[in-house]
Amino acid sequence: MKNLKALLFFFFSMVVCAQVKQDLKVGLILSGGGAKGIAHVGVLKEIERAGVRIDYIGGTSMGAIVGGLYACGYTASQLDEMLLSTNLNGVISDKFDSDVMSFDAKEDASRYAITLPIVKGRIQFPLSLSKGQNVYAMFVQLMHEQRNTQDFSKLPIPFYCVATDINTGEKIVLDKGYLPLAVNASSALPTLFSPVKVEDRMLIDGGIIDNYPIDEMLSKNMDVIIGVDVQTNVSSTDETSTLSEVLTRIGSFQTRKQMASKKAKTQIHIRPELDAFNILSFDNQKEIMAQGVLAGKKARQQLLALAKNQQPRVKKQKKIPLSFKLDRLLVATTPNYKTNYLLGKLRLKSKNSYSFQKLKEGMSNLAATQNFDAFRYTLKTESGKEVLKMTPPESKHTTLFRGSLHYDKLIGALALANLTKKHAFLKNDEISLDIMLGAYFQYALSYFIDKGEFWSVGLSAKQHQFDTSAPVSLNTDQFAISKPTNTRVLVQKNTWYVQTLFREEVVLGVGLAHQHNVFKTNLFDTQTARFLYTDNADYYSVLGYLKVDTRDDKFYPKKGGFFDGDINYYFSEKSSREDINFTPFLIAKANMGAILPLDSKWSLLLSTSGGFTVGDATSSAFDFTFGGYGNAPVLNYQTFIGLPQQHVAGDSFVKAETTIDYEFTPKHHLKMLLNGGIVSTDIFSTGQWKRGIDYYSAGMAYGLETFAGPIELTAAYSPQFSRLLFHVNIGWQF
């Protein structure tokens, strides 16, 4: 039957061509289908190869994306290159590179696996997984040359798309307005993306109401309609794996029931074989594209016959815009965030030219604060000026619940629960409480008044508690030891500080701190009838710190660098021990490194760190130690693969580390690690640091990125320990 239809169409076209020499107008319908819509590009490649001229395009969802870009003038080959060179899962998600986040946002991103709003005292699950900021930024860039085309029929190829009004259930035909916004609304897949506001309507994916928008095309006076159908098969009994897919199936029942009549209105119906994929199969781009090409080849004879009845139009490759001119910047003030705050996050100024990457980074800075709901912006010409205009809606969720899980050998297994309240007392403040549940109770309380680039004020209170085998030195009537001894450690630190930001990557701060140390050994003193303490005192200090972080990811960076340095001057001490003669002392340390991208899968991390003590630190609790891997910084503990926790200690150290990271498949990493260093007493004043490395080690690690944080298994060897040592770390550092 299919062959008969093709033959009749071919015969008809030949008769028309011979008798009338008609220039046939061709309309193209591209259905929705999520990731399956990548096949549209494969079909378009075959349409171009056959020489068919497309005169009008209508699309839904992914069909709107592909159709909108093709209508702007991009060739099918260009769309192919765009898709295959883009990490679509990364674009779809709201994950931002660490280098566009504030320091607070970076800390949050590396601590919490889940973040949920609390509304009227109850935890509320989000309506969508992504706000779609990255997707929209891509549309704004790729469609920039058509920014002033308000009537989509005036595009290089006339175009329309459809969306669904979430409040009324109406089908909304989008054929005018700001093209990136229209395409964004048509492809806002429920549960995956937030609804998109277009004028006074809240719109979602058009596939809910009409996933094959052919009826509008019938009014465009097209002679022939080509339809590319990537919808899920009506008769498919495959299990759905996502809520988005369930809702899409339910919402498109009516459309799929009407497909028989819609197909009858389509002269050339092309349906790629895509039953092996689902709407979120973005990791299968090449396979889906290949199915589109194959389906296009099957329709080649029909396409060739059609092309013979058209005047040819050669599509030339157009350049992807990389930069734009900005004459005016119009950002509306919100109730709690003034213009200076917004502009400080955007890092854009009028009367300048910027790359689209710079624009994306600025918008990411703003979105990463989590202070705003999904927001959109326009970049177009008004009165001869290039104007960027936006009104970011403030998030109504000011109370958040956050949580995570963690395991490392030092702290043990922990469950972290966090409660955060924004605008607690002031418009620009935030109070946050971490409760860490494990073998011992731990907490972190912070209050911060954010003044952006001005001096901001903060308070923090933290408690860490764990067991360790720390090197201690004791001389009593009963004991004379200098070796690792089982010790219960309790550290409480309260800090008041002021800090300022030099851009998001650089923070400088000073403060005052109170630190309470309790180091209780398992050694029992019969004379005092107490366990021996290596430290049980309160310390008071002034501190200063400088932090720089341009890494794109904290745990598996591909580029960037970092510097973290601090100085603590301990000027007072209060101890229960009468034999302690306290004198002020100073401790300084720094850690710096750079990440060199070798290619898309390989990266090289080079880092070095060092620290020293000036004066007598009174207690060995302040010593620098080598040993362990993957735990968060506590006291002056320095990680060192191949050595047990706190294996060796001293009042000064130097360490160098080299890490080669190979991401052999997405989110799976193989790491090769080398450590070398010196830790002892007065290594700088004695020149010991020049004489060579005292401790060194090598190891291999497997790492997996998960929604709950990294999971790493490390095997390492150090000649100073003389046996293979394994480190296991689960989740983000606390």
Cα distance between residue 461 and residue 513, in whole Å: 10
Cα distance between residue 187 and residue 184, in whole Å: 5
554 pLDDT above the threshold of 90: no
Sorted by sequence, the CB contacts under 8 Å of residue 216 that are 6+ apart come out as: 58, 160, 162, 173
Cα distance between residue 261 and residue 256, in whole Å: 10
Contact 448, 457 (CB under 8 A): yes
Q: How distant, in Å, are the alpha carbons of 16, 55, 68, 170, 273 from that of 303?
A: 16, 14, 22, 35, 19
630-640: average pLDDT: 84
Nearest to 726, CA basis, from 705, 704, 701, 703 = 701
Please state, as a whole number, how many other Cβ atoms lie within 10 Å of the Cβ of residue 169.
Answer: 10
Q: Which residue, chain included where needed, has tokens 């047990």?
A: 644
Work out the percent of the chain whose per-residue pLDDT is above 90: 47
Please state, as a whole number, how many other Cβ atoms lie within 10 Å of the Cβ of residue 140.
Answer: 27
Cα distance between residue 445 and residue 460, in whole Å: 6
Cα distance between residue 690 and residue 683, in whole Å: 9
For residue 399, the Cα-to-chain-centroid distance in whole angstroms is: 22
Cα distance between residue 430 and residue 626, in whole Å: 36
Cα distance between residue 553 and residue 13, in whole Å: 58
Give the model's pLDDT for residue 473: 53
475 pLDDT above the threshold of 50: no
Cα distance between residue 298 and residue 50, in whole Å: 12
Cα distance between residue 196 and residue 204, in whole Å: 7
Contact 474, 534 (CB under 8 A): yes
For residue 363, the Cα-to-chain-centroid distance in whole angstroms is: 13
For residue 295, the Cα-to-chain-centroid distance in whole angstroms is: 35
**Six-digit token string for 50:** 């056959």
- Position 631 confidence tier, pLDDT thresholds 50, 70, 90: confident
Contact 664, 601 (CB under 8 A): yes
Which of 114-118, 187-191, 621-625, 708-712 bottoms out in mean pLDDT, i.e. has the lowest?
114-118
Cα distance between residue 446 and residue 424, in whole Å: 12
549-570: average pLDDT: 91
**Six-digit token string for 337:** 């965030």
**Six-digit token string for 686:** 């004695």
- Position 213 confidence tier, pLDDT thresholds 50, 70, 90: very high
Which of 41-45, 62-66, 121-125, 237-241 bottoms out in mean pLDDT, i.e. has the lowest?
237-241
Q: Which residues pair with 494 in a beta bridge?
A: 461, 514
Q: Where are the beta strands (DSSP E) in 239-287?
A: 268-270
E strand or H helix that includes residue 76: helix 76-84
Sorted by sequence, the CB contacts under 8 Å of residue 711 that are 6+ apart come out as: 703, 704, 729, 730, 731
**Six-digit token string for 510:** 């000073």
162 pLDDT above the threshold of 90: yes
Contact 643, 622 (CB under 8 A): no
Nearest to 346, CA basis, from 544, 504, 153 = 504
Count CA atoms within 13 Å of residue 488 on its CB side.
12
Give the model's pLDDT for residue 527: 59
Give the model's pLDDT for residue 236: 47
Contact 646, 625 (CB under 8 A): yes
239 pLDDT above the threshold of 60: no
Indicate the pairing of strand 201-205 with strand 196-198. Answer: antiparallel
682 pLDDT above the threshold of 60: yes
Which of 85-99, 340-354, 559-573 bottoms out in mean pLDDT, i.e. has the lowest?
85-99
Q: 340-350 burial, b for 16+ CB within 10 Å, e for fewer?
A: ebbbbbbbbee
174 pLDDT above the threshold of 90: yes
Cβ-based burial of 539 (10 A; exposed 0-12, middle 13-18, buried ≥19): buried
Which is higher by pLDDT, 152 or 551?
152
339 pLDDT above the threshold of 50: yes
Q: How distant, in Å, are the alpha carbons of 58, 66, 230, 291 from that of 297?
A: 22, 19, 16, 10
Collapsed DSSP state (helix, strand, coil) of residue 591: strand
Q: 259-292 burial, b for 16+ CB within 10 Å, e for fewer?
A: beebeeebbbbbbbebeebbbbbbebbeebbebb
549 backbone dihedrals φ, ψ, rounded to 5°: -150, 110
Task: List the end-to-end C-alpha distance of the chain, in Å, as a whole number.
Answer: 66
Give the model's pLDDT for residue 579: 59
Cα distance between residue 590 and residue 547, in whole Å: 10
pLDDT in tens, 7-42: 445 444 544 444 344 789 999 999 998 899 999 999
Residue 525's identity, in one-letter code, is D
Percentages of the chain per state (helix, strand, coil), in multiples of 5: 25, 40, 35
* CA angle at 705 for the pair 701 and 709, rounded to the nearest 5°: 105
Give the model's pLDDT for residue 480: 46
The secondary structure of residue 189, as a DSSP letter, is -
pLDDT in tens, 528-537: 556 677 788 9
The secondary structure of residue 358, as a DSSP letter, is H
Cα distance between residue 514 and residue 345, in whole Å: 33
pLDDT in tens, 247-293: 555 555 556 667 888 888 999 999 999 988 888 888 889 999 999 99
pLDDT in tens, 582-629: 889 999 999 999 999 998 899 999 999 999 999 988 788 888 989 888
Q: Which residues pair with 510 in a beta bridge?
A: 498, 544
- Position 722 confidence tier, pLDDT thresholds 50, 70, 90: confident
pLDDT in tens, 379-392: 999 999 999 999 88
63 pLDDT above the threshold of 90: yes
Nearest to 372, CA basis, from 407, 403, 341 = 341
pLDDT in tens, 300-310: 999 999 999 99
Collapsed DSSP state (helix, strand, coil) of residue 339: helix
State the maximum Cα–Cα separation within the chain, in Å, rounded to a whole number. 118
Q: Which residue, chain included where needed, has tokens 């926790």?
A: 645
Collapsed DSSP state (helix, strand, coil) of residue 556: coil
The secondary structure of residue 651, as a DSSP letter, is S
